[in-house]
Structure 1
Amino acid sequence: MASANFLPSEDQFLCSVCLDVFTDPVTTPCGHNFCKNCINDYWNTNNQNMCPLCTKVFFSRPELLVNTLFSGMVSQFRQSTQQKASSSSSEQQESRPGEVPCDVCTGTKLKALKSCLVCLASYCETHLEPHLTASRLKRHQLMDPVENLEDRMCLKHDKPLELFCRTDQTCVCMLCTVLDHKMHNVVPLKQECEGKKVELQKTEAETQEMIQKRRLKIQEVQHNVKLSEEDADREKAEGVQVFTGLKESVERKLNELITTIEEKQRSTKKQAEDAIREMEQEISDLMKRSTEVEKLSLSEDHLHVLQSVQSLNIHHPPPTKDWSQVSVPPASHEGTVRRAVSQLEGTLSNMMKTLVEVEMKRLQKFAVDVTLDPKTAHHYLILSDDGKQVKHGDVTKNLPNNPERFTTCICVLAKQSFSSGKFYFEIQVKGKTEWFLFLGVVRESINRKEEITWRPEDVYWTIDLTNGNKYIAAADPPVLLPLKSGPQKVGVFVDYEEGLVSFYDVEAAALIYSFTGCSFKEKLLPYFCPGHNDDGINSAPLVITPVGVN
């Protein structure tokens, strides 16, 4: 608040009510100066005629006089301040959207440098100067410019929110700590803010980690889409090539079939035409002889008749073919189409084998290292030390009945499980007369304490050899597989997302069977059942072999 000593201090020219440069300054009887509107509003609000500075009470509202000298000094100070503001405004930045404007600037609003929590106003560089020079204003609390300064005041006590109540998790003022929040755990805003900043930094680090993971996942998805597009383009190109070749092969076989039939028909037709031409020639010769004979028989010239008869040699007709033994049967085309289709079938078979060979080479890149899990093995089974072979031992072993172990079905699972993507492995079945029950993959939740039935119910996807010559896919109903010869090594391929399980005869490069449209909802595990020993007849082990090694 300014005192009336007229010293050339900027503090003298600030109204103690509005804390700004005097506007229409007036003097009270006690000698203090105020803005005319400020002192009148003060008296109207308090319903008491009292000086805001010395608290002297006037029994009636006094007459407010204008101190001419002081008013002139204020006018000069205001003009000087405006000149400074005018000269410095060109150097200061105009407030832009999103920035806090100066509350004092009229016309063009300049960017605020600080906000005052006491004045509840924001100031540009020029209008901030009194807070930096006036001793009384230096005690005000300044901060980086913010909007809505009213929100930083306690609504109940009209004091700055300087503290934080940890008990109620809210910002409070000094009066709150002795009234509404007495005995609560209260700390300065700065202390609580530093703790929150540590939490924010941790949250930011976690958020950045989540962002990075998602960016990596986006890259992975984009990479997979690119691979999918490349696979699709390759498959389309291969399909076009294969079906173009197939179409050309069919057209070639069709042309060969038509050519064969037509050539046979032409041969038959030529044979018939030659016979007809020869017979027509004989008919012509015979008709000529018949005409001569008839002419002679009607002649009255006896000498001519006798002489001509000798030359005709009527007792010896001209040589002719015995056509009774000659036959030109219609051409037979029975079996021609079947033989052509059979040849085409052979071509298709070779083409299919080539395709499967290419397909299996591609599957090898999804090869996984599979080892048997002894914790799941039935007590009759014998596993190799490396976990790559299993056979029936005929002798029960004393093993713990842990939850993972099969106790009824004589089988064992792999240690590895798969819940996404594609995987491929190979099993040697050479020398096996039966695999009873299964070979393939099963769901992790398969019941390991009961007998497995033929109904898969989305639990297992396997093939089975029984009685040494019957190959069956464990579908519903079971599918008898028409294999001409038993495989020596079986490849198993699974595409989790596609719902596909395929079995291959590795050496013959032939597809044995595929389960399609499967619904995989949990982990899958490779599954092996070597069958009973059968007095040594079926003693050969199932062997997990390295992929691509014969």
Structure 2
Amino acid sequence: MAAASEEMLQELQGQLTCSICWKYFWEPVTIGCGHSFCRACLPSSTGAAFSCPECRQVSQVRDFPLINGSLAELTELGKGLSSQQLQSARGQRRCATHHQVLEFFCEDDQTLLCESCCQTPEHGAHRHSPVQKAAPNCRKKIQYLQNCLQKHFKETKKLLVKEKRPVIDWEEMIHREYLEWDSFMWPQECHLERMKQEKKNKKNRLSQQKRSLQDLMLDLQEAECQPNLDLLREIKQLLERSKSVLSQRAKALIPELRVYPISGMIETLNHFRVDLRMEPTSACPFVILSQDLKSARVGQGWQVDTQHGDDSDLHIVLAEQAFSSGRQYWEVDVTQLPQWTLGIYTTYLRTDSHGRITKDASVFFLQCVKREEDYFLQSYPGSLNHRLKSRIPRVGLYLEYQTGILAFYDVLQSSLIYQLPDISFVAPVTPMFFPGPPLPGTKPGPMTLCPEDSHLCACCYSSL
């Protein structure tokens, strides 16, 4: 009877535990599919698609669910019953089935056993350890988990700080883009609201992750100080909960480049379209130009031996044209290139350590690099380092000399990729191209300057 009661209580505890934070429900809410979670564990935004962690059913959370009062009352009742059971267990410390002292710990099931339990078919083939040996081993696991959690707790705090003071303020960048083309862009203010909501959602997820890590670290600290039997009773749940929290932890991964299509933008930029040609004398032996000077490809002699195809040298090709005023826009087809660099070459003023102003040559560019199966966009100078959902087939570059603007666009998506910080141009600016470096064992195609009258749309583009 005692064993049956214990099993029923364990089942009740499972029904009253949130599968996200692995703790008793706190302000429980029940979503459309019928599953319940802590209110704080659910996404705080409304109107967004939400995938249930239990059944993976996707639903549109239009209104935040109300607290399930009945489930909250039942949870409090379950906590009381659990406390009574714990006090009883501390009093007897005996097996509920065989009424013998709990002397062993099952390493496979993470449960306490008596000598008779060890002989049963359920546990007979498992690994058993004396309580005096198993408890110190569990404390070592807890200490290891505490170190891991502490590391990720600090990491999450740093990410929260970055959310408050981001290296790249995308909202401000897009806002400047609207101001640049206000007659076309102001009707697109919904994109700014979307960016604000995404930023808020990410901050809420990080805050919830921080709380979950903090709560778990405190519970592990308390468990480590418990008597051996009490620790071993709780270790299974603590390990499962730790695994769940760590799998959901905020990772400092390179973020994915977000796409914010702006209708009419590419059409507006085409008003400043220029017809470029490449300068043949600027090409190095590793780069071959076409006869019409409209495309460049990797030559036979260029071999890259590094694992990821990195190359410290930029074998750039310059355009014939240079600009010292006005606005210019050009597009480059990079469909057949896994790695490429596009930008401008110019000179700039620099102040040395003695306060003297000198003129130096420099490049400003956007580049795509491939690492294993992923593609990344990086800028120089600047802080862009974002992962791509898919390769960009055509890149548009917009140059405004007087105000020092250099912006890059995803032509297919009609979306701003990145705008370099304000540049002070003091000399003519020349477009530059770099069709590489090639990846080992591959034969990349050409980098091609697109004609002024060419257009790109989704219907004429096949995914890479």
Ranked by relative contact order (alpha carbons within 8 Å, sequence separation 6 or more), the top structure is 2
Pair member with larger Rg: 1
TM (normalized to structure 1)?
0.32
More strand by share: 2
